[in-house]
Chain A
């Protein structure tokens, strides 16, 4: 039983010469596959070639916009601080004038002028 199985296996695995045209068929198949690959790859490459450029441009634009906005905010906060300070100084001086004029008027009233 074992010998019979071994002989059968040997027969099945014996080296056999390929039929005529096998090498040509394999070569043709490889050429076809390679040809298809050549046709696809440039198309894919062309279609997504802009992607890194677009990503870099978007990032650069985002950074510039953020920086500009942050600069305007800083400028605005500083302008607000300066405005409040300017109004404070103005009020201080006007207050002094108002107080002095009032005191003058009161002293004139008191002296009966």
Chain B
């Protein structure tokens, strides 16, 4: 290998390493909640890496509006991870595990987008976004209630506009706060 091809190889390796580290930053280390499965009344445990997202994309029907929206959204994604547990008693889950995920979001690049502390609903929700080169490359949502917690980690180029456009789909009702207010 001559000097020119060696430097070319090193440049490519450096670019790949940077790309890999960007993915690693957006990918949170989620604690193992397997032990909670027996105590929980409802469990949602989803791990979709780039390979499975690609496979899921092939099974989305472009003629179906819901599927088409999902297909468009996952185009730039590298992973979707969801851990959601519901219990029939208060604080049956170790809060420290949820806090350990929150702690990871203090690392550089992650920005807190919204923090909601609802006394009425007894629900705390934190939305974090990872910004790299003015682009959102990661999203994390941590929601906790006395009987439920949800951790969502989306890795990859996220178009928040597209995510917002999904409103009214997947069984989520469209918000009608404006209409309610004008109708008063």
Contacts and interface: CB of A to CB of B under 8 A. Distances in A.
A87 B177 contact: no
Contact of B141 (A79, A94, A98): A94
A103 B177 contact: yes
B106 to A, nearest CB: 20
Interface in A57-106: 72, 75-77, 79-80, 82-103, 106
B116 A100 contact: yes
A88 B121 contact: no
A99 B177 contact: yes
Contacts of B123: 96
Contact of B127 (A77, A83, A94, A99): A94
A18 B172 CA distance: 107
Interface residues of A, number: 29
Interface residues of B, number: 41
A84 B70 contact: yes
Nearest to B171: A88
Contacts of A83: 48, 53, 56, 60, 70, 74, 80
A72 B56 CA distance: 10
Contacts of A92: 172
Nearest to A90: B152
Given A82-B48, A86-B82, A97 B56 contact: no
B125 to A, nearest CB: 5
B74 A101 contact: no
A72 B81 CA distance: 21
Contact of A76 (B44, B55, B82, B141): B55
A76 B59 contact: yes
Contacts of B80: 83, 86
Given A90-B82, A93-B152, A106-B177, A100 B118 contact: yes
Contacts of A88: 170-172
A82 B116 contact: no
Given A75-B55, A93-B141, A97-B127, A86 B116 contact: no
Contacts of A85: 44, 46, 82
A79 B125 CA distance: 27
A16 B58 CA distance: 90
A87 B70 CA distance: 8
A93 B177 contact: no
In the A-B complex, the 10 residue pairs with the smallest Cβ-Cβ separation, listed nearest first, are: A79-B56, A88-B170, A80-B59, A76-B59, A83-B56, A91-B172, A80-B56, A79-B52, A86-B82, A86-B46
14 contacts: A76-B55, A79-B55, A79-B59, A84-B70, A85-B82, A86-B82, A90-B82, A93-B143, A94-B164, A96-B118, A100-B116, A100-B121, A101-B116, A102-B175
